[in-house]
Amino acid sequence: MDLNQRARALGGQITAWRRHLHTHPELSFKEYETTAFLAAELAKMGIAVTTFQDYTGCIGIINPQHPGPTVALRADIDALPITEDTGAAFASQNPGVMHACGHDCHTAMLLGAAQLLQEQAQDLPGRVLLLFQAAEEGFCGSRYYLEKGYLEGVSAILGMHVCPDAPSGKLSIEEGNRMAGRDNWRITVEGVSAHGSTPHLGRDAIVAASSCILNLQTLASRVNDPLNPLALTVSTVKAGSQFNIITDTALLEGTLRTYDPALRATVKREMETVIAHSAAALGCTARLEFIEADAGDAVINDHPGLVALAQSSAAKLFGPDILCHVEPSMASEDFSCLMQAIPGLFVFLGIHDEGCGAVWPLHSEHFAVNESILPTGSALYAQFAVDYLNQQEGR
């Protein structure tokens, strides 16, 4: 089967799936209607579906009884707490919730791949597991499926993400760093309250927090090797109650991003030292807390064989000019959780298209895509699965 040609023929259906999902977005861990919709669509294709009483998302399996190897394809299904401002006829009908990160595209493309693969299931020398994953934005929603054993026996997994930094329809299939690891954190600064007219009687938590903010910047500028990617961001500051009171408490929140595990550990230790001494110098104390449930490793394509296979699959479908280069991102992606347990590959599908207004970054209320690229993603998902299984079986 010419999977590119067949995917183009399914283009209208893939677009319809995407528009339905876009119109009915749901937040992380609340993707109930989305899960029901996906399970129903997979069942229509004759694909075995597993859902979960205590969790959202679902898994489809093609050739569930086949004794051969298992390859997995993953799409994330959750949306963001963003009010849409696109003017699209199929805009979100759920107030304050929007598919602004392309997960509706990923999910529709994987549904398309499911149809392509199911149509040739009898020719596949193994199983294909289709993971429609909940709560990627909740980071790491993927852990559930690993911890419950639903991905046991999978020998390779492919994930894909639309990319505003690449031309529409192009594919970035590259070795090395793709998306950074992350540690979100909060700092609580405590001082002594006083009236604004008698500052000498208090210990100003706002001043101490300001010192922490400034001194934290030295970790990126003076502790880290400038050739090693590192982002340390203070993103929220909460303090004070009224104009004439020196507050005794300030809360800072932020995120740490890097690819290097050793640097990650070093910066976390140094943050403790910096904030403790910065606060103490002003008569205050500071406590740093890393939010472990919201942490994850970097996405690094470190399996050259999978990269080469996917590049070959893409060239087979679309020719070698389909490939492009995309710089590593300091954004994070919970596909990294899956890659820690299963050899994995993460691919970017370009969506930048000035002709149709698809020029906005991820997480923008104006986010848009040229839907003509959706069959490209479906075809690559499917071709990679076919080629991987054939390779494993020596075909």
> Which pLDDT belongs to residue 139?
78
Residue 144 has pLDDT above 80, yes or no: yes
Q: Residue 340 in contact with residue 295, Cβ under 8 Å?
A: no
Q: Residue 15 in contact with residue 105, Cβ under 8 Å?
A: no
Chain mean pLDDT for the chain: 96
Rounded CA separation 117/130 (Å): 11
Rounded CA separation 128/388 (Å): 10
**What's the whole-number mean pLDDT along residues 58-76?**
97
Instruction: Give the number of other CB atoms < 10 A from CB of residue 262.
Output: 9
Give pLDDT tens digits for 378-390.
999 999 999 999 9
Rounded CA separation 339/334 (Å): 9
- DSSP secondary structure string, 33-82? HHHHHHHHHHHHTT-EEEEETTEEEEEEEESTT--S-EEEEEEE---BS-
Query: What band does 140 get if pLDDT is binned at 50, 70 and 90?
Result: confident
Query: What band does 368 get if pLDDT is binned at 50, 70 and 90?
Result: very high
Query: What band does 17 get if pLDDT is binned at 50, 70 and 90?
Result: very high
Percent of the chain with pLDDT over 90: 97
> Which pLDDT belongs to residue 16?
98
Q: Residue 137 in contact with residue 116, Cβ under 8 Å?
A: no
> Which pLDDT belongs to residue 393?
83
**What's the whole-number mean pLDDT along residues 338-355?**
97
Rounded CA separation 243/195 (Å): 10
> Which pLDDT belongs to residue 294?
79
Residue 177: C-alpha distances to residues 228, 298, 328 (Å): 12, 8, 6
Percent of the chain with pLDDT over 70: 100
Dmax (CA) for the chain in angstroms is 82
Beta bridge partners of 183: 256
Rounded CA separation 125/390 (Å): 6
> Which pLDDT belongs to residue 390?
96
Query: What band does 316 get if pLDDT is binned at 50, 70 and 90?
Result: very high
**Two structure tokens written together for 42:** 């997979």
The DSSP call for residue 125 is S
Q: Residue 238 in contact with residue 187, Cβ under 8 Å?
A: no
**What's the whole-number mean pLDDT along residues 181-189?**
96
Residue 364 has pLDDT above 80, yes or no: yes
With tokens 């107030």, the residue in question is 95
**What's the whole-number mean pLDDT along residues 259-286?**
97
Q: Residue 193 in contact with residue 246, Cβ under 8 Å?
A: yes
Query: What band does 295 get if pLDDT is binned at 50, 70 and 90?
Result: confident
Residue 293 has pLDDT above 80, yes or no: no
Pairing mode of beta strands 127-133, 70-76: parallel
**Two structure tokens written together for 89:** 């006829």
Query: What band does 360 get if pLDDT is binned at 50, 70 and 90?
Result: very high
Instruction: Give the number of other CB atoms < 10 A from CB of residue 157.
Output: 25
Give pLDDT tens digits for 254-272.
999 999 999 999 999 999 9
Give pLDDT tens digits for 187-213.
999 999 999 999 999 999 999 999 999
